[in-house]
A and B are shown apart, each in its own frame.
Chain A
Amino acid sequence: MDLYLALALQIVYGIANLVLISLGLAIIFGMMRVINLAHGEFLMLGGYTVVVSTNAGLNIWLAMLVLAPLVVGIIGVIVERVMIRFLYGRMVDTLLATWGLSLVLIGLVTTIFGAQTATSISPPLGAIHIGDFTSSGYELFLIGVTAVLSILAYCALKYTRIGLIARGTMQGAEIASALGVSTSRTYAITFGVGAAVSGLAGGLLAPITGVLPSIGATYIAKAFITVISGGTAILAGTLSASTLLGSVNSVLSYITGPTMGEVGLLVVAIVLLRLMPQGITARLFRRSL
């Protein structure tokens, strides 16, 4: 019984982990149609922000929840202004440009911090006990943060004026512009928010995965698979795709080992996209966000 409870927690964490690493990409790629190959590096920068500021004496919670999204969000706005804004509607070009950006960011961070970094920050919460089993309290915290983040994103898109403007601009920039919306500012802010969410995720994951300049590469494929499987509705899509892929991955990892877990995740994604080429939300939850 305890084992099933501990396992259930693992599955929920597996899902939350996917939502966390994909949400920023869902905003930038799902909403803005910018293929952001530097997404992994946004996560990595969030991680470095937390490590550097914590080692400099800043409170770890402040570093993770405030500083990481702020720093990466600002970097996102700068990137949008000097690079991405010239490339809207040119998907292949954004792919090349952001790939270049990803290489530059990896190179810059390696030059500044070296290939390996002394990341002596430990997860700030201890272990929790479920009967005979122990699990990481920090993972429970991450599940909570992911839930809050999803609800916040939903409310922001659904109930706020800026959310409405953002959705309108992404659907029809010219109409929005005709109604007096500054579309270029909306694009910059949306990209910045996407980057900030990525930075937050990277910062939150730093204590349990560690940071290296090349750590982004381990996230990027999973993030893209999740967002593409999710389809057009960014929030419902990311959540439903994460639930499906995360459960398959966790359960298979437990039964057969992580190699088959990864294989299972990919097989499910391929079959899913064969049956629903536009992603889950093109068929189900069609009117959701």
Chain B
Amino acid sequence: MSTTRRTFLKGTAATAAALTAPAIIGKAMAADKIKLVSILDQSGGLDIYGKPMVAATKMAVAEINASGGLLGREVDLKMYDPQSSIQYYTQYATQAAASDRADVVHAGITSASREAIRPTLDRFQTLYFYNTQYEGGVCDRNVFCTGSTPAHTVEKLVPHAMKKWGKKVYILAADYNYGQIIADWVEKFVRDEGGETVATEFFPLDVTNFGPTIQKIQAAKPDMIWSALVGGAHISFYRQYAAAGMHKNIPLASTTYGVGNEHQLMSAEEGNGILTAYSYFQEIDTPANKAFVKRFQEANGGAAAPYLNELAVRSYEGVMLWAQAVRDAGSVERMKVIEALEAPVKIDAPSGTIAIEPTTHHETLNTYIAELKDKQFEVQETFLAQEPTDTMQVCDLKANPDTVKFYFENGLEAAGIK
């Protein structure tokens, strides 16, 4: 295609208009349907996390539309697959805000992807939901983080496991932002409980040989292992740990084991006894959850449906929280919806009663501690309505609504906690 001077001018004028006045155009062209854009990895290395999240998002929108939509309007779901590449995240976020004029964007799995698109969505003033468990610390009035944070899960599981097994803890973590910060939190909570961290080791995401570490663990003789290992290659650790017969000697606790459905990749014998804590388990024994699991499995191929973990359910409940706020606000306009969310919005969801915590835009939710037995998680302890106390230590959007900051970017020490 050749570009003449005229088409070039037309094109640049349109782009300039779109860039300078997205809000005005967005309102003027508001169509009949409410636009929800979802950006989640359906291919590439992160797809083990992304695919169940996509299925859950689709189910939430389908259920909203089946019950008559929102404010009498249908919700139009548009999905993008960033293929586990940060570059596509920024591209699709711009497209969602500038071209699709989304009313809300639900997006992101890794913290890196969230931090890549957060400034874009802030600039275009597009409401943003991040529905993944993460290390906490985002403080931004345009953003709602509905996943669990270390205060929800790690803070509950550390004392539980230490009481059961002992005070000497050996920490293994993935060597990137999330793993480093989670390790910081574990060390802090272990210290708070009067325990001792005998060693903390970080592993690049492609490490598959854990032999030297397993010998080191035996030399250090800890009472328990804490794993914040992440991704496909790190599953090797659990297998090699079991192959060396260690799973019978030194028990293991984790708040990452299970969200990649690792427990289904290992035999029952290798996994038995592992302790985890999340805001959701498929096995939660309530009528609401049982009905939800049944609906999900029917919509996703019956027995072949993926195991419902926290990531998938947060995606479903994130959409539902937003939908309730739209109903409360009687509008999809960004500020009205944010105010309705801050009211705060509260719903009964499969994981229990959940609400937005208004000072941090994180979530007040139930936390469950469970033990793995024969590839099933048995819930041992339930904590109702837990607040995101980690982020609350640094963030107060009521007092300072203009804050736009990710406080834990450089670890806990830099954020003044430790």
Contact with B along A116-136 (1 / 0, CB 8 A): 111111110111000011111
Interface residues in B151-181 by Cβ distance below 8 A to A read 175
Proximity string of chain A (247-274) to chain B, C-beta cutoff 8 Å, 1 when within and 0 when not: 0001001100111011000000000000
* Shortest distance between the CB of B198 and any CB in chain A (Å): 14
The closest CB in chain A to the CB of B235 belongs to A210
B232 adjacent to chain A (CB < 8 Å): yes
Interface flag for A215 (CB, 8 Å): yes
Given contacts A115-B51, A116-B265, A218-B233, A253 and B213 within 8 Å (CB-CB):
yes
| 134-185 of chain A: CB within 8 A of chain B | 134-139
Cross-chain contact B265 with A139 (CB below 8 angstroms): no
Asked whether, in the complex, the Cβ of A254 is within 8 Å of the Cβ of B212, the reply is yes
The chain A residue sitting closest to B260, CB to CB, is A116
Q: Is B204 an interface residue (CB 8 A)?
A: yes
* A253:B245 contact, CB within 8 angstroms: no
Please tell me if the beta carbons of A120 and B266 are within 8 angstroms of each other in the complex. yes
Which residues of B208-247 are within 8 A (CB) of A?
Answer: 208-216, 218-219, 232-233, 235-236, 239-240, 242-246
6 further A-B contacts with Cβ under 8 Å, apart from A6-B218, A210-B236, are A3-B215, A120-B265, A122-B239, A126-B245, A212-B235, A258-B201
Chain A residues positioned under 8 Å from B187 (CB to CB): none
Interface presence of B344 (CB below 8 A): no
How far in angstroms is the closest Cβ of chain A from B201?
A: 5
- Within the complex, what minimum Cβ distance (angstroms) separates B72 from chain A? 38
Q: Which of B27-35, B40-48, B335-343 has 4 or more CB atoms under 8 Å from chain A?
A: B40-48
Chain A 189-229 interface residues, beta-carbon cutoff 8 Å to B: 205, 207-210, 212, 214-215, 217-219
A110-B212 in contact (CB<8A): no
A259 with B239, Cβ < 8 A, contacts A13-B211, A139-B211, A218-B208 known: no
User: Contacting A133 at CB < 8 Å: which of B212, B215, B270?
Assistant: B215
* B interface with A by C-beta (< 8 Å): 43-45, 47-48, 51, 175, 201-204, 206-216, 218-219, 232-233, 235-236, 239-240, 242-246, 249, 260-261, 264-267, 269-270, 306
Q: Which residues of A contact B (CB under 8 A)?
A: 3, 6-7, 10, 13-14, 17, 110, 114-123, 125-127, 132-139, 205, 207-210, 212, 214-215, 217-219, 250, 253-254, 257-259, 261-262
Assess whether B232 is in contact with A212, with CB atoms less than 8 Å apart: yes
Instruction: Compute how far the CA of A205 lies from the CA of B314 in the bound complex, rounded to whole angstroms.
Output: 35
Q: Residues of A contacting B270 with CB < 8 Å? A: 122
Residue of B nearest to A261 (CB): B212
Closest to B203 in A: A258
> A210 touching B239 by the CB < 8 A rule?
yes
Q: Are A3 and B264 in contact (CB under 8 A)?
A: no
Within 8 Å by CB of B232, from A133, A208, A214, lies A214
Q: Is the pair A134, B218 in contact by a Cβ cutoff of 8 Å? A: yes
Q: Are B212 and A253 in contact (CB under 8 A)?
A: yes
| Contact assessment for B243 and A208 in the assembled complex, using a CB-CB cutoff below 8 Å | yes
- Pick the residue among A110, A114, A138, A217 that contacts B206 (CB under 8 A): A217
Q: In the complex the two chains form, is B216's CB within 8 Å of A254's CB? A: yes
Contact B202 A134 (CB under 8 A): no
B-chain residues with CB within 8 Å of residue A258 when the two chains form the complex: 201-204, 207, 210, 212-213
Rounded to whole angstroms, the CA-CA distance of A121 and B246 in the bound complex is 18
The answer on a CB contact under 8 Å between A257 and B202 is yes
Q: How far is the CB of A289 from chain B (nearest CB, A)?
A: 27
Tell me whether A120 and B267 are in contact in the complex, defined as CB-CB below 8 angstroms, given that A138-B243, A209-B239 are known contacts. yes
- Give min CB distance, A250 to chain B, whole Å: 5
Residue of B nearest to A125 (CB): B243
Contact of B209 among A14, A125, A126, A135 (CB under 8 A): A14
- Does the CB pair A136–B243 fall under 8 Å? yes
Q: Which residues of A contact B233 (CB under 8 A)?
A: 209, 215, 218
Bound state CA distance, A259 and B265, in angstroms? 26
CB contacts (< 8 Å) of B306 on chain A: these are: 116
**Which residues of the other chain, A, contact B212 by a CB distance below 8 angstroms?**
7, 10, 14, 250, 253-254, 258, 261
Whether B235 and A127, one on each chain, are in contact in the complex, defined by CB atoms closer than 8 angstroms, is no
Whether the Cβ atoms of B232 and A10 lie closer than 8 Å is no
Select one of A123, A125, A212 contacting B239, CB under 8 A. Answer: A123
Residue of B nearest to A219 (CB): B208
Residue from the list A17, A110, A123 in contact with B243, Cβ < 8 A: A123
Chain B residues within 8 Å of A118, by CB: 264-265
Contact of A110 among B43, B203, B207, B246 (CB under 8 A): B43
What B residues does A218 contact at CB under 8 A? 206-208, 233
Distance of A13 Cα from B244 Cα, bound (Å): 13
> In whole Å, how far is A91's beta carbon from the nearest beta carbon of chain B?
26
